[in-house]
Structure 1
Amino acid sequence: MTVAPPPGCVLSADGSYGARLAREGDSLFPERWTLDGPEPYAVPLRTGRSEEPGAEVQPLGDGRVLVRRPAGGRHAFSLLYPTGPGTGEVPLGAVVCPDGDTRLRLLPPAPCGRRAYAVTVGPRSTALWLVAGGASGPERVAEIPGRCSGGAWLDRTGRMLCLDRETDGRTKAVVVDLERGGEVSPLLEITEESDDRVLLADPDSGLLLIRSDAPSPGRGRLGWGVLGSTLPVRFPACLRLPDCAVTPFAVQPGQVLTPEGCAVALRVDGPLGSWVGVWRPAQRRLHHLPAPEGWLTGTGLWTADGVLRLPCATP
C-alpha cells in the first residue's frame, strides 16, 4: 500500500518557527520546528489522537501552533504548545460551514505573528474569519462579494490583505482593509477581460508577483509589478519554461525602495520532478538549483541578507 506524504511545512511570518503534520506509521501529528536558534530542532505535539489528512497547522510568532480539524462542515480550532514531555491544548471554538458548497481554508500567516485568519468560500460570497488572536473564539470580520482565492499580506501590521476575487467569470486581485470593516478596493486589473492574480507580495519593497493571462488569453503567465506604481506589469521571458509550472514561494525582505533587487525563489515542476529557481527582476536569467534532499517542496524563506532557507526532513 502506498501512503501519501503529509503536507509540507508552514513557516511563521518572521521565520522563527515552522509547523507541519508529521507521520508516524499511519498516524499524523503536529510538529513544531524552532528555526531562530543556532541549531534548528523539532518538537512533536502529540495530543493522543491522529489528525485527519485534511487538517491544517500554522505556527504563531510566540511558538504556539494553530491546528484546524475538519469534521464534515464543522472546523474546530485549537492552539497547541509543548509542556515538558506533553502537549498543552487551548480550544478556540469552531466555524460551521452552512452547506456542502462552502469551503474553509487558512490564509498565509499574518505578519504580526499574533493572529490567524481563514476564509469560507461560498457560491456567491466569501467570509473572512479571525480564528486565533481575537477576544473570544472565531470572529467573522468581513463578508466579501464573490468567490475569493489566494491571499497575500501587503503590510507588516496585518491590516491590508490581498485576495483574488472571482465575479462575473473574471478574477481580479482586490485589497481588503481589516481596519475599515473589511472595505474592498481594486488592486490589479491589467485588462477588463484578463484574469489577474497576486501570488506573492513583499511589504518592504512593494514587489508583487502576479499571474495573468493578459499577454496570452487563456494561458496564465508569471509577471511582476510594484505596489502603487504606474508602470505596467512586466512578464519576463525567462520565467516561461516549456512543459514546466513555475510558482513563486518566497521573496527577499528588507529591500526598501529597491524591488528590482529582491531575490525571488520559485518552485519549478517539470516532467523530471521539482527543483528551485532563483531570479531577480533586475536580471534576465532564471538560475536553476537542485532541490535538497527531503525538501518540503514549495516552502522556504529568504533572509534580508539574501540567504534562502529551505526546510527539509529526512530519516
Structure 2
Amino acid sequence: MTACAIEPTAQDDDGAAGGGGFTIAADGSYAARLAGEGEALFPERWTLDGPEPYAVPLPLGQPEERDAQLLPLADGRVLIARRVAGRFAFSLLYPTGPATGEVPLGGVEAESLRLLPPSPDGMCAYALAVGERSTGVWQVAGGAFGPEHVAEVRGRCTGGVWLDRAGRMLAVDREPGDGGPVKAVAVDLERGGEVTPLLQITDESSDRLLLADPDSGLLLIRSDAPSPGHERLGWGVLGSTRPVRFPECLRAADAAVTPFAVQPGQVLMPETCAVALRMDAAAGSWVGVWRPAARRLIQLPAPDGWLAGTGLWTRDGVLCLPYVTGAVPCGLARVEGAAEALVPDPVTTPAQAEPAGGEPSGRRGTPVVCKPVPLQQAPLTGRTLPG
C-alpha cells in the first residue's frame, strides 16, 4: 500500500508529513491521530489491515498538546513528539491492556522540528530540525542510542519524500541561504548526508517534490516553471531524461489540487499509476483520481467526515479513505473501480500521444529538467559535500 502524504506549502516553515493529523504507516497496516475534543486530546491508533478498521485509544496521565506529532510504526507502536521547553521529546506508545505503555527515547534541542513521513522500513522514524543556516536530519526512533543526528543540509529544508524502499534516499525541498528559489534535492543518509540536485526545471523556478513512488519511479511535482508566479502540478519519472509535464486537467481554476497517494505495485510503469488528489474549494473538499496515461481527471465525492487529504491505495487499485462521524468513530470508505475507469482509450487518447514537451504549459518552449537521481546508480557524480 502507498500511504498518505501531506504537502508542505511555501509558507509552511515546518512543512513535512507527520504532525498531529492522520498519518498512515509505510505498509498501510496502522495509522495514528490526535483524537478527542477541545483540550482533552489523546493519541489514537487505527488498525487498517483487517476486515474492518478499529481504533485503540492511547491516553496517558494528562492530555496532549495540540502541536504533538504522531507517527505509527509497522509493529503497532506509535511515536509521539512533544515540544517541551525549547526541545522536542520523543516516546513510543503502545497499548497494555487497559493502560498505555510509554518508552521514552530522548530528545532534540531545536526551535523547529517536524517528523518526516514514515520510513519505508516501517521501524525507523526521522525528523527535520530547521536552523538558521542549515537543516538537521535526525533519526529519532529505530536507532540504538536514542535520537541520532544523521545529516546536515545547507539551507532551510521543508517537505520530505522517500525515494526508495530501503529508507536510504530522502528528498527535501531546500531554500538556499541567499534567498534563491526552492529546489528539491536528494540526501543520501548512508553516505553522511551527501546531497544531489534532484529537480532543476529552470534556473529561476521553485521546484518541489510532493510524492514519489519507488515501484514505478513516478514523481509528483509542484513548480512555477510553466507560469512564473503561479505554481502548477506536474509529473516526471525518476531517472528519466524526459521533461516534466504539466497536464491541463490538473489545472483547476477554482480549486486547489494536492496529491496524497499513489497506487503501488506498478513496477517500471509510471504512466499506469493511479494518483489520488485532494480538491479544495470554497464549497469544501472532495477527491480527484488521475492517471498519467489517461490524461483526464475523475472527481468523486468524499465520504462524510473524511480526514481530508489522507488515504491509501491497495495494489488492486482500491482507494481507501479514512473518515470519522458521530455514528462511526473509525471508518474506512473503499472506492473500487476508480483506477480502472482511467484506463486510456487506445483510439482517442493513446498513452504516448504527448510530445516530449508534454501538455500545454502556458508559455512557449519546453521546460528543461535535469536528470533525477537514478537510485540504482547511486552514488553519482555531481554530489556536494554534506551540508
Contact 1:8 1:299 survives alignment (8 Å): no
Deviation, 1:72, is 3.5
Q: Identity of paired residues, percent?
A: 73
Distance 1:96 1:88 in 2: 25
1:149 to 146, 158, 164: 158
Matching of residues 47-126 of structure 1 within 5 Å: 47-97=60-110, 102-126=111-135
The residue that corresponds to 1:225 in the other structure is 236
The residue that corresponds to 1:282 in the other structure is 293
Distance 1:7 1:158 in 2: 23
Partner-residue secondary structure (3-state), 1:260: helix
Deviation, 1:298, is 0.4
Deviation, 1:123, is 2.1
1:13 to 26, 30, 34: 26
The residue that corresponds to 1:306 in the other structure is 317
> Where does structure 2 lack aligned partners over 5 or more consecutive residues?
1-18, 327-387
Whose strand fraction is larger, Structure 1's or Structure 2's?
1
Partner-residue secondary structure (3-state), 1:233: coil
Q: Which amino acid aligns with 2:258?
A: T
1:243 aligned onto 2:274:
no
Deviation, 1:26, is 3.1
Deviation, 1:25, is 5.3
Deviation, 1:271, is 1.3
Runs of 4+ more than 3 Å apart: none
> Where does structure 1 lack aligned partners over 5 or more consecutive residues?
1-5
Distance 2:223 2:22 in 1: 27
The residue that corresponds to 1:30 in the other structure is 43
The residue that corresponds to 1:3 in the other structure is none
1:209 to 217, 220, 228: 220
1:44 to 53, 57, 66: 57
1:273 to 284, 300, 303: 284
Contact 2:39 2:65 survives alignment (8 Å): no
Report the TM-score when normalising by structure 2.
0.78
The residue that corresponds to 2:172 in the other structure is 163
Partner-residue secondary structure (3-state), 2:322: coil
Report the TM-score when normalising by structure 1.
0.95
Deviation, 1:219, is 0.9
Name which structure has the greater RCO, CA cutoff 8 Å, separation 6+: 2
**1:93-150 deviations in Å (ceiling 9; x for gaps):** 11111xxxx4110000001001000011112100000000011111110000010011
**1:59-113 deviations in Å (ceiling 9; x for gaps):** 001000000111232111000000011110000011111xxxx411000000100
Distance 2:298 2:259 in 1: 13
Q: Which moved more, 1:189-198 or 1:68-77?
A: 68-77
**1:161-202 deviations in Å (ceiling 9; x for gaps):** 000111132111100001111111111100111100000000
Contact 1:8 1:297 survives alignment (8 Å): no
Partner-residue secondary structure (3-state), 1:63: coil
1:175 aligned onto 2:186:
yes
Deviation, 1:240, is 0.5
Distance 2:66 2:21 in 1: 12
Deviation, 1:232, is 0.3
Distance 1:40 1:54 in 2: 26
Contact 1:127 1:144 survives alignment (8 Å): yes
Deviation, 1:7, is 4.5
Q: Which amino acid aligns with 2:57?
A: P
| Number of aligned residues | 306
Q: Which amino acid aligns with 1:141?
A: V
What RMSD over aligned residues (CA atoms) do the two structures have, in Å?
A: 1.1
